[in-house]
Structure 1
Amino acid sequence: MSTFSVVIPSYNDADMLRECLRALAVQTRAPDEVIVVDNGSTDDTSAVARAAGARVVLEPERGVLHATAAGFDAAAGEIIGRLDADSRPLPDWVELVLARFDADPTTDAVTGSGTFYGCGAFWRFVGRRLYLGGFFLFVSVFIGRTPVFGSNFAMRREVWEDVRGRIHLDDPRAHDDLDISCVLDPDTGVDYDRDLLMPVSARPFATFAGFQRRASWAFHLLGVNLREIPWHTRVLAGAAGRRRRRKRQRAASGISPRSVPASRE
């Protein structure tokens, strides 16, 4: 089985981080390393991480894209997982993620959606069906491929090394998951697993101003990437990439069409 690193960017999220690390400590398949990227926190984020046995990487340049890049660069695993400090991975999260990669050599990244805690039934529905459901549907239409969700994804190390030079580190409004999704090579096999759900906090809905800021940054970053590679080019390249992946799946030793996990790619 592949080696697995988990990267968690954190900025002043010590309390939530503590719970995330507790959830990682009881995984049915323990990660080979956990890296917490302290993105200039003024609370005890680093102390909480070290107390839980995590490796701390300091990234003073503020911004989640900078923090994610620093963590991914430092990771030693063949597969690099990405969680947020408010993620609460279920006990079999690592095991399920690795099983997807080990079952299909053409799988380059795996992602799933989320469920929200800390809110009522109405906001749980809005969060999962409209907020995250809209993210996957809307972004996939615009970039011609399935995006990855920052609180719940993993990718092969070589995929990160390929996209590292194309992400927009100089853009202070860049979301890491959206930017990575936009710059992935068309041949990258991204699997969306409907069963790979991640509990995350409902803080995106805490204030309208915060929600509006997140949305404006997302539209901004989509615009940046679509100016570099137009929509129609992305869609055609994505379709061609999926066709080539299906050929690789058929040709892969020991992989038959029936044994390949279903994917939205």
Structure 2
Amino acid sequence: MTAAPLTISVVIPVLDDERALARCLERFAAQSVAPLEVVVVDNGSADGSADVARAAGARVVEEPVRGIPAAAAAGYDAAVGDVIARCDADSVVPPDWVERIRDAFAADPALEGLTGPGRFIDLPRPWRGVASVAYAVGTFGASGAAIANVPLWGSNMALRRTAWAAVSAEVERLDASVHDDLDLTMRLGPRARLRFEPRLQVGAEGRMFHSRDAARRRVAMAMRTFRRNWAIDGSAGRRWLHRVSGRGLLVGEAQR
């Protein structure tokens, strides 16, 4: 008997993003494999983001607590698909994005999370490639070393719903100064089966590169996220020890 195909829920947190959201939802309407649902989490928008979502057939979830951690978690909680895919309103997903995600999880039943790179489409053309590579090195290289796993990137990621259920009570939801995707990755732990797929690429806005203050703010958020999780589970060294040997069991994993 052939197993039923995996179902994919797409979660998009929004705050006053109606124009970008309209473009994003058009791309989901043109996917080679349609998602089971698109869940748009309205984080208190003053514009027509919710109306745009409903007009496109998306399910709207209201999250009054401001901040991406609260909005993203509300979307994951509401999702009903086997796999939860996540992007932002400004993510420019290719037409086979959902199909690639579905096939990756179907091919590897142990896979818990999947992520890929971005190309920054709003920067001056000579700088787009440099900025995209620099961001990838910082996100997947430096952050990966600090957390002892592949960091999930919120603009382009997917998570098996059972993996979310295992850590949903542990992730930070209230502190908007925490990177929600990085915090989620650290709660999943260094031995979670997470994969970086270079062919799973999306376009995105390079907000970090718009100003020095924006860059400093993102770095400060990353350090805040690291410290929160290191205080719970121990240092980066302990995480690597747990990853390679199974010793130094993390507190969060001991509770699950």
The question of a shared fold, defined as TM-score above 0.5 by the shorter chain, is answered with: yes
- Could you tell me which residue of structure 1 aligns to residue 154 of structure 2? 150
Residue 177 of structure 1 and its aligned partner are, at CA, apart by 0.6
- For each residue in 1:85-134, what CA deviation from the matched residue of structure 2 results, as whole angstroms up to 9, or x when unmatched? 10011000000111110111111111101011122233312321112221
Contact 2:68 2:176 in 1 (8 A): no
Find 1:3's aligned residue among 1, 7, 24.
7
**Aligned: 1:192 with 2:228:** no
Match in the other structure for 2:52: 48
2:88 maps to amino acid: D
User: Is the Cα–Cα contact under 8 Å of residues 9 and 67 in structure 1 kept in the other structure?
Assistant: yes
Corresponding residue SS for 2:105:
helix
- DSSP-derived class of the 1:2 partner: coil
Distance 1:199 1:61 in 2: 28
Rounded to whole Å, the distance in 2 between the matches of 1:51 and 1:127 is 35
Determine whether 1:137 maps to 2:141. yes
Does structure 1 residue 92 correspond to structure 2 residue 117? Answer: no
Query: What secondary structure sits across from 1:5 in the alignment?
Result: strand
- Render the CA deviation track for 1:190-235: whole Å, top value 9, x for unaligned: 0110111111112332232222212211111111111222222111
Q: 1:233 aligns with which of 213, 235, 238?
A: 238
Number of positions where the alignment pairs a residue of Structure 1 with one of Structure 2: 241
How far apart in 1 are the matches of 2:38 and 2:56? 9
2:149, 2:191 within 8 Å by CA — same for their partners in 1?
A: no
SS of the residue corresponding to residue 37 of structure 1 reads strand
Which runs of structure 1 show a deviation greater than 4 angstroms over 4 or more consecutive aligned residues?
none
Structure 2 residue 174 is matched with structure 1 residue 174: no
Amino acid corresponding to residue 168 of structure 1 in structure 2: E
Paired residue secondary structure (2:217): helix
CA distance in 2, matches of 1:239, 1:67: 34
The residue number in structure 1 matching 2:87 is 83
Task: Give secondary structure in 1 for the equivalent of 2:191.
Answer: coil
**Separation (CA, whole Å) in 1 of partners of 2:210 and 2:48:** 23
Unpaired runs of 5+ residues, structure 2, are 247-256
Q: Give the whole-Å Cα distance in 2 for the aligned partners of 1:138 and 1:91.
A: 30
Please state if 1:108 is matched with 2:74: no
Task: Using structure 1 for the length normalisation, give the TM-score.
Answer: 0.88
Secondary structure in 2 aligned to 1:145? coil
Question: Match of 1:251?
Answer: none
Give 3-state SS (helix, strand or coil) of 1:225's partner: helix
Q: How far did residue 236 of structure 1 move?
A: 1.3
Report the equivalent of 2:213: 209
Match of 2:127 in 1: 123
Give 2:67's match in structure 1, choosing from 57, 63, 66.
63
Q: What is aligned with 2:254?
A: none
**Is 1:219 equivalent to 2:223 in the alignment?**
yes
Cα distance, 1:176 vs structure 2: 1.0
Given that 1:144 and 1:239 are in contact with CA atoms closer than 8 Å, whether structure 2 keeps it comes out as no
d(CA) in 2 for partners of 1:132, 1:18: 27
> Which secondary structure state, in structure 1, belongs to the residue aligned with residue 69 of structure 2?
helix
Aligned equivalents of 2:230 and 2:191: distance in 1?
18
Question: RMSD across aligned C-alpha pairs, in angstroms?
Answer: 1.3
